[in-house]
Amino acid sequence: MSTAEPILLTPGPLTTSARTRQAMMVDWGSWDDRFNQLTASVCEQLLAIINGAESHHCVPLQGSGTFAVEAAIGTLVPRDGKVLVLINGAYGKRLAKICEVLGRSFSTFETAEDEPTTAADVDRLLHADSSITHIALIHCETSTGILNPLPDIAQVVAQHGKRLIIDAMSSFAGLPIDAQQVPFDALIAASGKCLEGVPGMGFVFARKESLANAAGNSHSLAMDLYDQHAYMAKTGQWRFTPPTHVVAALHEALLQYNEEGGLPARHQRYANNCQVLLDDMARLGLRSFLPAAIQAPIIVTFHAPKDPRYQFKEFYERVKAKGFILYPGKLTQVETFRVGCIGHVNQAEMHAAVAAVGEVLREMEVLEI
Ligand SMILES: *Cc1c(COP(=O)(O)O)cnc(C)c1O
């Protein structure tokens, strides 16, 4: 196992199938009709996953996920708008930072890293400040794995007549979201997370009327989703050089997503991965940071062993030598590490990964068993 490519148990880039990687072995021309059909097919399949074809456009964008988040805020929040940013981790803080850099007025509401934002919080905050136009929310906060109650928050936002921007980067296609039940102006995700594509493009599901009214909002030429969409609608092409290999890999990953059984099957596989991980780690005496009720089956944060012989760097290198890449913790108060449940992996890999963790902790004399 140590000579093979290690398995990535990280929330993107993550482990992809050989078939997905193989799809990148072609050089596509950006003017090629077949490539433009590939893009159109990808967008159509993405919209189908959230049942959004009636109400939303899918606007793809070159770059990592954060590029698409920044583009969504810059395009859909007017320059005189005000964003309420809901924070319980590093990605929520990044939303606030984006508003700051873009010069959009914003306020923040922060809860502890193990405490979801509630719909009641949002209701109270919207009553208290009528100048808020948009609410920005992280669905699954990947810095811990906590799940925020998106459907309830979306209902409250809609009742107040405000607009919702959702960073669903690590949950889209892994957890159910239906655009006809959950009202939103923008939902943002990327190629290299639950879709199990390779990293390199994000996409924004933008409500059709909101996008139509967004001309001239953006501070940026390259990040203007209004222009990106208008150009693609007119020509079938990406506005600037497309990430051709990434699009081809995503197309192949989507075929496999549907062959597997679509969202229910993907969700079930990740839920099984998560349960195996939690159960096997518990047997080693390693406790998860979040209670089960608010744990999304995407990534799990574990308390690091208290033993002074435990050092993350050594632990990481030793587990890597056994074929598994883990992820460092992202909490400031407590020492933790993270293990992803997503990617082209199933229960067998999760059992093997935890077995490797157990061996390593014994080698480091952190565990006696
Ligand atoms: C991965 C992720 C992003 C995007 O991160 P990039 O490094 O820019 O790809 C944004 N939000 C969340 C919640 C994520 O998990």
pLDDT tens-digit readout, 316-326? 999 999 999 99
- Whole-angstrom CA distances from 54 to 111, 230, 262 are 35, 17, 20
CA contacts within 13 A on the Cβ side of 215: 4
CB 174 within 8 A of CB 182: no
Rounded average pLDDT over 101-121: 98
What pLDDT is stored for residue 369 in this prediction?
A: 56
User: Which of 146, 169, 198, 301 to probe ligand 1 with, by most ligand atoms within 8 A of CB?
Assistant: 169
User: Which of 62, 93, 170, 338 to probe ligand 1 with, by most ligand atoms within 8 A of CB?
Assistant: 170
- pLDDT tens for residues 245-258? 999 999 999 999 99
Secondary structure in 3-state letters for 120-150: HHHHHHHHHCCCCCEEEEECEECCCCEECCH
Residue 5 pLDDT class (50, 70, 90 cuts): confident
Distance 36 CA to ligand 1 centre (A): 26
- The full set of domains in the chain, from first to last, is 7-12+262-363 (3.90.1150.10), 18-258 (3.40.640.10)
CB 35 within 8 A of CB 28: yes
One-letter identity of residue 175 = L
Residue 368 has pLDDT above 90, yes or no: no
| Ligand 1 atom at minimal distance to the Cα of residue 141 | 13
Euclidean distance between CA atoms 144 and 150, whole angstroms: 17
Residue 2 has pLDDT above 50, yes or no: no
Supply the pTM of this predicted model.
0.97
Residue 92 has pLDDT above 90, yes or no: yes
Residue-averaged pLDDT of the chain: 96
Residue 67 pLDDT class (50, 70, 90 cuts): very high
What pLDDT is stored for residue 333 in this prediction?
A: 83
